Amino acid sequence: MKSIEVNMGDVAVGQGEDNLTASGIGSCLIITLYDAKQRIGALAHTMLWAHRLSAEAWDKKEERRKVNLESADTKYADIAIEEMLKRVLALGAKREDLAAKLIGGANMFSAFVSDIGKESVESSRIKLKKEGIHIAGECVGGSQGRSVEFSVNTGIVTVKTKF
Amino acid sequence: MPKEHLLTKITKEATEKASEALLKLTHQQASIEFTKIEVGKVKTVFLKLDPESVVAGIYLPISGDTRGASLLIFPEKVSYLLCDMLMNRKLGTTLKLEEHDKSALNEVGNIVLGSILTVLSNNLKLKMIEHMPNFCQDMLGAVIDQVIVQFIQKTEEVLIVELVFHFSGSEVKGYVLLIFETDEIKKLIEGL
């Protein structure tokens, strides 16, 4: 059994008895993907949404290349979702059996005019729907920090707060 | 001036400025010392700390010749002790922060962050304007990530200032994080 702490901007995959964790999440968005039949899961610790392109332009490779979105920079939620899909499918997960969960996207300081967490949540919902991935649960928004523990064995995602 | 001497000068000047103000505010019960300034990648530095430890965070946006953010972080227990001192209560009285406590702590943030920014501004000849402070108390990782995320597309390098709060008989460590947009941090790094 491996326990993997997934830091800001990273993606990790696990199988069987593995645990994937992310500690002290504020506006960052944690996205998990899980195939319960194969017991294969992934967790992404994302920071932003690469919203430099419209939905139509996003589908065009040459448009993405112009704004340098070809590299797997998984601090962006949309790129992280694609990277997670690639990796879990490569391990034998079935797309039709995958379910996602979203955790985080809080607004810790009210001074910030733009609510980056909320943008990441809304954009991730759209992206997952586009990829045909069902969202099985969410624990998002508010102004509290969270820690996440994802058991790949059971599929259970545990969310802790301090207050 | 050699870089090491300039860094020592900045920490010394900021300590004097902030300590004098904090002693006054806390009725001579607390002082502060800036012990180290370094440039680093924030992910690396804060990986040494427990992201789930509960801290108080005071965020101060910056504009002027440099646009960016300053964030003061210290352990939860320091926020309670400071409130006792600021409000003239017996030490150990405060166990939970009310709105007026948070306002008082914002004032501490103003002093500490204002001191370091003024000294940096004077030494580096860059105008820095501080805006309204904002308070948050939660897990360390959660407190810093929103600030980092605002600037991560422009820079991953930050100025990290280590500091120590001195209370009677004890010392507690805290940090100041200073993040500026790319061109400005380069100027600062070159200046340092």
The DSSP call for residue A142 is: S
In DSSP terms, which residues pair with A149 in a beta bridge?
A21, A158
CB contact under 8 A, B139 and A162: yes
Domain segments of chain B: what residues? 3-191
Which one, of A34, A55, A53, lies nearest residue A44 by Cα?
A34
List phi, psi (to 5°) of A24: 65, 65
Pairing relation of β-strands A146-151 and A29-35? Answer: unpaired
Q: Answer whether A136's CB lies under 8 Å from A99's CB.
A: yes
Q: Which residue among B57, B147, B152 sits closest to A48, beta carbon to beta carbon? A: B152
Q: Is A101 in a helix, a strand, or coil? A: strand
* CATH number for domain B3-191, candidates 3.40.1550.10, 3.30.2420.10, 3.50.50.60, 1.50.10.10: 3.40.1550.10
pLDDT tens per residue across span B172-184: 889 999 888 756 5
How far CA B184 is from CA of B5, B6, B177, B187, in Å, comes to: 22, 18, 15, 5
Using pLDDT thresholds of 50, 70 and 90, give the confidence band for residue A69: low
Q: Answer whether B119's CB lies under 8 Å from B12's CB.
A: no
Tokens 């759209």 sit on residue = A126
pLDDT tens per residue across span B88-140: 889 899 999 999 999 999 999 999 999 989 998 888 888 888 899 999 999 99
CB contact under 8 A, A145 and B142: yes
ipTM: 0.86
pLDDT of residue A102: 98
pLDDT of residue A21: 97
pLDDT of residue B187: 63
CB contact under 8 A, B149 and A108: no
* B141: contact with A, CB 8 A cutoff: yes
Q: Answer whether B70's CB lies under 8 Å from B147's CB.
A: no
Q: Which CATH fold would you assign to the domain A3-160?
A: 60s Ribosomal Protein L30; Chain: A; (3.30.1330)
CB contact under 8 A, B146 and A147: no
Interface of B with A in 30-49 (CB under 8 A): 43, 47
Domain segments of chain A: what residues? 3-160
